[in-house]
Amino acid sequence: MHVRIGLTVLVSVLVLSNVAFAQSSRGLSPLSCPALPSLMGKYYQKHVQYTEESDELDARFVKLYSDRFDPSKSLLVESQFKELTAKARTLLKDAKQGRCDTFDWLKKSQLEWHKEMQEFVKRFTEQEGLSIDRSLALQVDPDKRTRPKTKAEQDTLRAKLLHFQLANYVSAGTKLKEARTKLLHRYELISRRVKEQTKAEMYSSFMNAFSNALDPHSTYFSAEDLEDFRISMDLSLEGIGAQLSSRDGYTTVQDVIAGGAAYRQGQLKTKDKIVAVTQIPGGEAVDVIDMALKNVVRLIRGKKGTQVKLTVLRQGDTNETLNIVITRDKIDLKDQAAKLRWEKVTRDGKRLNLAIIELPSFYGGDPARGARDCTTDIKRLLKDVAAKKADGLLLDLSHNGGGLLKASVDISGLFIKEGPVVMIHGPASPSQVLSDNDDAVQYRGPMVVVTSRVSASASEILAGAMKDYSRAVIVGDDHTFGKGTVQNIVSLPPGFGALKVTTAHFFRPGGASTQSLGVAADIRVPTVFNNEDYGERHQDYALPARTLEPFRTKAVNSKDPVKRWLAITKADIDHLSKASAQRVADHKDFKKVRETLEKRKKNNGLIKIAEILDDPDNKEKDKKKKDEDKLSAQVLEGLQILGDLVVRQSGDNTAAKIEMPSR
């Protein structure tokens, strides 16, 4: 069985209460109120950190659950929200005992809130001579907004939001008159969805807030959500090839999958917020702000060869709204596979022959069905590296969001003799150390690993092992993403869905977990992702980092001078860092990165409506497709660092550098 970390690692079976089974057998909704205590209890039994109820977890639930009723902070004034949070506390207390009367109050009140909002939108859109106010600015991040205290403050915020939403419609090609009609219809549909919401759906939302209060990766899947989750893991799915998440009412691009339609089209980027979806040809733009993620995904999915237009909000050095047309397709595993290319760097008049291996993900499938495997691909590429006598190797993990756990261990083993690579440790099961047991070393020359804040999960295992064993220089953003936990999918009886619960941490050979902190770069070479809102530690209730006693071994290197590799020392890092800092300071591409990060920090989530209305089709840089042959500035600097390392190590053949110094 392949293990894809960050998604699922184990399967177990939950035995629900007899009451729940009885209700299911009578044909009633399987997810019922009496089942909630059993489901909550199972999370406590399995979770890596939280094993019993606490006031802290109760407070987290109340905040998450209440916020999700009004993510934009426009539905309720402060006094109403306080009443909601009080009801949420009561609901949690009662639900633990299998009592759910408060759900009736919530549904009734929620419908009243949305009806009132619908009436406001009706009055707003029917104003005579209504035009979009280009002078307005809106704080896109609701966490940075203040909840209105008075009705007047609420009306001001609502008007800003509606101008913003109208601007998104117009930017997507809709005439203002039609946009007014669509906007009102959208809020009518929201009211209808609230009215039609079933008890089972309300219980599912309750369980989601409960599980998310434990950590951001624990969640509850209804039967429908579970099917969507399984589809999302199937790389043969026809669609655009992007991983999406939902936060604060926005569907956000979490990752553009290498080999997918969006990746080949080249315009869609990580962190883009999708605000509208249009079917081509002839479809109307559907505003998807505040729409449930599963419904957005269904709008975007489609058959191979059909087209969809995404209207996205992009925040960076400038705030832009872009219309991106993507032709749906199956993921091409050739594009996702590891690639080898060669570059030259000159040092002291000598042209160094440097190899670059780009690994977009730790992929692998059933060999019996002819599926490609990244470990086999990397071994093949390393044979070419050896045959062409590379002076140095750069392994590019800067866009690798993870994948198969075994692959990360096996590929780590290609660069060391033998020894432990990662430990899986959780309180509910014995520690498991995954090691390289093959004493062969496929490549022993100078090595640089390029990472970024996008590098996550399996990438962090490989980078962490290379760092802890002083095998390679880690170059990149200040740290990797920091996703260092293991999730367990707990199967439920038919109709109930499943639980996803965090059960363990990953630990590097040096004893540090990759959770939250990620893997720090030895030499910082920043990308536009190097900002404080990107990474595990910035997610709500992310688990903290942990440490264990180091379990690394000197067996990773050979005592034979011919067969060993040279360990990276602190002196090496200091020497390489000085040269790199000078190049990065003077390079125009890194100047642009610094300017982008600074402007993003200065904007602090604020966007002007005028920026949305600017014609995105005039921005030639966004119309161009991805240049597959162009190396990023970060990788190019990684090559320069590798060149310096080659020269430095070529002059040091002492057998003393077998130790693995701490860095």
Instruction: Report how far residue 155's alpha carbon sits from residue 169's, in angstroms, rounded to the nearest whole number.
Output: 21
Residue 20 buriedness (CB in 10 A; 0-12 / 13-18 / 19+): buried
Q: CA dist 448 to 261, 473, 608, Å?
A: 30, 5, 42
Looking at residue 495, what is its pLDDT?
85
Looking at residue 265, what is its pLDDT?
87
Looking at residue 91, what is its pLDDT?
97
Strand, coil or helix: 200:
helix
* Residue whose C-alpha is closest to residue 3's, from 337, 332, 362: 362
Strand, coil or helix: 450:
strand
CA 297 to chain centre: 16
Q: What sign does the CA torsion over 389, 390, 391, 395 have?
A: negative
Residue 535 has a CB neighbour count (10 Å cut-off) of: 24
Query: According to DSSP H, which parts of 308-362 are helical?
Result: 333-336
For 582-597, letters b (16+ CB in 10 Å) and e give: eebeebeebeebeebb
The stretches in the chain having pLDDT less than 70 are: 1-29, 228-238, 247-249, 316-318, 331-336, 365-371, 615-629, 652-663
Q: Match 């670059």 to its residue by tokens.
A: 356
**Radius of gyration of the chain from Cα atoms?**
26
Beta bridge partners, 489, equal: 11, 500
List pLDDT tens digits, range 278-318: 999 888 888 888 787 778 888 888 888 899 999 998 876 56
Residue 140 buriedness (CB in 10 A; 0-12 / 13-18 / 19+): buried
Looking at residue 659, what is its pLDDT?
45
Looking at residue 655, what is its pLDDT?
35
How do beta strands 419-426 and 429-436 pair? antiparallel
Q: CA dist 403 to 59, 68, 198, 291, Å?
A: 34, 31, 36, 29
Query: 52-56 — which CB contacts under 8 Å span 24+ positions?
Result: 53/96
Q: For domain 333-484+498-597+630-650, give the CATH number.
A: 3.90.226.10
Going from N- to C-terminal start, the domains of the chain cover 51-213, 237-327, 333-484+498-597+630-650
Strand, coil or helix: 355:
strand
Is the CB of residue 594 less than 8 Å from the CB of residue 526? yes
Is the CB of residue 306 less than 8 Å from the CB of residue 277? no
Instruction: Report how far residue 488's alpha carbon sits from residue 504's, in angstroms, rounded to the nearest whole number.
Output: 9
Strand, coil or helix: 588:
helix
Q: Match 């989750």 to its residue by tokens.
A: 229
Looking at residue 14, what is its pLDDT?
32
Query: According to DSSP H, which parts of 128-249 are helical?
Result: 151-171, 176-196, 199-212, 223-232
Query: 72-76 — which CB contacts under 8 Å span 24+ positions?
Result: 72/142, 72/161, 72/248, 72/249, 72/290, 73/142, 73/145, 73/146, 73/147, 73/148, 73/157, 74/117, 74/148, 74/154, 74/157, 74/158, 74/161, 75/113, 75/114, 75/117, 76/113, 76/147
Looking at residue 570, what is its pLDDT?
97
Q: Within 13 Å of residue 442, how many CA atoms lie on the same side as its CB?
A: 20
Strand, coil or helix: 393:
strand
* Residue whose C-alpha is closest to residue 529's, from 253, 258, 276, 321: 253
List pLDDT tens digits, range 157-174: 999 999 999 998 888 778
Q: CA dist 294 to 142, 172, 251, 297, Å?
A: 21, 22, 10, 5
Q: Classify domain 237-327 at the CATH class level.
A: mainly beta
